[in-house]
Amino acid sequence: MNESSLDFDVPLEQVSAEAAEEETHELRSVIQRHNHLYYVKGVPEISDAAYDRLFRRLRALEERFPDLITIDSPTRRVGASPRTDLPTIRHCAPMLSLDSTQDPAEVLRFDERVRRAVEADHVEYLLEPKLDGVSIELVYERGVLTRAVTRGNGLEGEGVTDNARTIPSVPLRLREERPIPEFLSVRGEVLMPLTAFEALNESIMEEGGEPYANPRNATSGAIRQLDSSITATRPLECLGYEVLDARGVSFRTDWAVIEALGAWGFRTPERAERVRSADEILAYHGAFQSDRDNLDYEIDGIVIKLDDLDERVDLGSTSHHPRWALAFKFEPRKEVTRVERIAIQVGRTGVLTPVALLLPVEVGGVTVARATLHNREELERKDIREKDLVRVQRAGDVIPQVVEVIPEEDRTRASPFEMPDRCPNCGTRVQISGPFTLCPNRFGCSAQLKGRIVHFASRSGLDIEGLGSETAALLVDRGLVDELVDLFDLTVEQLLELPGFASKSADNLVAAIQGRRSTQLRRFLFGLGIPEVGVSVAGDLAAHFRSYEALRDADEDALQAVRGVGPKMASQIRSFLEDPKSHAAIQAVFERMIQLDVPEVRQGEGPLSGRRFVFTGTLQSMTRARAKQSIEALGARASSSVSKETDFVVAGEGGGSKLERARELGVTILTEGEFLDQLKVETPGP
């Protein structure tokens, strides 16, 4: 179907409902094709005027026949009605961050670890540019975009479906160049081209507004708009690069994933390559670093990913990042400025951190006025003093830090900076723990309390809107909150006495706090600030123990039974929970909670409950990823290494040292057929 075959001469009032249905279907097909050619392929076939004619006709038909409007219509890209909030939505699969390095030697060590782990004759990597944008999950059901979710904390994010529909390079309906799966979850990156970013800032400044600091901030602000018609005016692009979940299709390699995404209508990362050696990785990184300043989009390095998806299952992931991938970052951009003063910041865990207060300087498009000096030993090693001229960088192009002191002739330097022997906030004598200086007054130091309040109310914690660092400081300094439990006793009248609060903001904060007395157990556990317990570990603890009381009473052995919890972490969790003051403070908060929701059990219950499987070699009937999903659905757990706790080793073709280890330990070895009998399922398709 093309434009010439469409009859625009028939006046709208003379078009029947049946004819309108046929014409809108044809128009959508034509417009979606031209969108793909223009925004994804970059090879438009018609003029803007011709495209506008098609679009106006479709919109006019939909206005006359509203029943014909579909969620995948190109007209939906102009935005929907403004929302009052962005809902929190759980991801289909965790969106993990990547381990990263700037050291070529670490890349070589990564390559060596991967080669040892997969036991393969050769290893193939997929290399891509590391895009500096905003991660997003796009979910398609029967080929139609049904929801879009920001990365958030990796487990859940904000629903931005209406906003995502306005981005021209996001397919509203998957192209049928290859079979479309029944369900598809895609991870992508939303970004703003540099030329478009500069034009946007110019227009904002012409209207007297405050320009964005960098393209990533502009992108984040645009994708999280409550009014999607505003998002539609922003020059955003989206690239798809990973399948998080799929039903009705499977892949053996990441390269096949990229090819499929391209066939389904996604823009995919430019210059993706497959290589087999560390030397090729270094060459790819060097080529992109040389071109970095000539690109029309921000990248901060390259991504190295094991291409074989079965081998990825063997390597597995930590609670923070996959073991089969590494971000190889570029050297950060650096600038020169002066240290005006060195201040001490006391965090929620009591660590005293020296901070350089700088003469403001722009580093990579962001104005930097302060930078961490990390700890006592780092400060002494670099010998940074007040009034020094220093070189500053943003680590990972994000966190400002002082790299080095720049010598100045004929200038007398200040005396070496010394860490205080007492906490600058509460006056308690500090303690030394390795390179760190600590205030031990956990429950009497107001700076630590302010940090605990912010952590408790954070997005990954109880997500209490309006309770940020400034408000936390006010509540503590005015004596309204002496411990976390006091938050639940705050009144509107008390808040109205504070600067910056009016009736509505006071009502909203009190309501937000009371509304979080019912929350998810994992949010509650994260918000408590238990040592070593981040977002992922909090989720694992909640899923395993299913109540705060069960966690509170668990010994170290019980804690180590939780995925990702080792001896050191278990010891720190146990010490914190059994400390009398910690116990009393947490118990007081716990008793004020109304309900702590527990996640559905995903593992641990079923006919294979408690069994541990290890896979080796290549399975013919399914991928190892599919096999892992199958046993987890029946209550078992997959592991990447053979130990005394392993119940079964499933041996496919080409099994290696894991088989020998299984024989040494007397672990039961299953053929693929025997494994399928264990599952009690028919042999699945590819």
Q: Which residues are catalytic?
A: 130
Closest CA to 294 of 270, 273, 278: 270
Cα separation, 572 vs 548, in Å, equals 17
At residue 646, φ and ψ (nearest 5 deg) are: -70, 135
Phi-psi label, residue 551: left if phi above 0, alpha if psi -120 to 50, beta otherwise: alpha
DSSP 383: T
At residue 468, φ and ψ (nearest 5 deg) are: -100, -165
Name the β-bridge partners of 156.
90
Residue 320 contacts residue 331 (beta carbons within 8 Å):
no
Which whole-number Å values give the CA distances from 22 to 16, 30, 33, 61, 644, in the listed order? 10, 13, 17, 11, 65
- Who's near 507: CB < 8 A, 6+ residues apart? 492
Cα separation, 152 vs 587, in Å, equals 29
Strands 366-372 and 351-363: antiparallel
Neighbouring CB atoms inside 10 A of 139's CB total 20
At residue 422, φ and ψ (nearest 5 deg) are: -130, 150
CA dihedral 301, 307, 309, 315 (to 10 degrees): -70
Cα separation, 533 vs 541, in Å, equals 9
Helical pair 17-35 and 48-64, crossing angle rounded to 10 deg: 150
Cα separation, 174 vs 187, in Å, equals 15
At residue 353, φ and ψ (nearest 5 deg) are: -110, 125
Cα separation, 241 vs 232, in Å, equals 23
Cα separation, 311 vs 119, in Å, equals 9
One DSSP character per residue, 332-382 reads PPEEEEEEEEEEEEE-TT-EEEEEEEEEEEEETTEEEEEEE--SHHHHHHH
Closest CA to 30 of 8, 10, 1: 1
One DSSP character per residue, 287-328 reads HHHHHGGGSSS-EEEEEEEESBHHHHHHH-B-SSSBTTEEEE
3-class SS shares of the chain: helix, strand, coil, % to 5:
40, 20, 40
Q: Which run of H or E residues covers position 90?
A: strand 88-90
Closest CA to 511 of 495, 499, 532, 535: 495
- Who's near 287: CB < 8 A, 6+ residues apart? none
* Tokens (6 digits) for 293: 């300043």
Q: Which run of H or E residues covers position 551?
A: helix 548-552
DSSP 308: B
Q: For 366-484, where are the alpha helices, taking DSSP H only?
A: 376-382, 446-457, 469-477
Cα separation, 350 vs 423, in Å, equals 9
Cα separation, 589 vs 566, in Å, equals 27
Cα separation, 467 vs 473, in Å, equals 10
Residue 508 contacts residue 466 (beta carbons within 8 Å):
yes
Residue 107 contacts residue 245 (beta carbons within 8 Å):
no
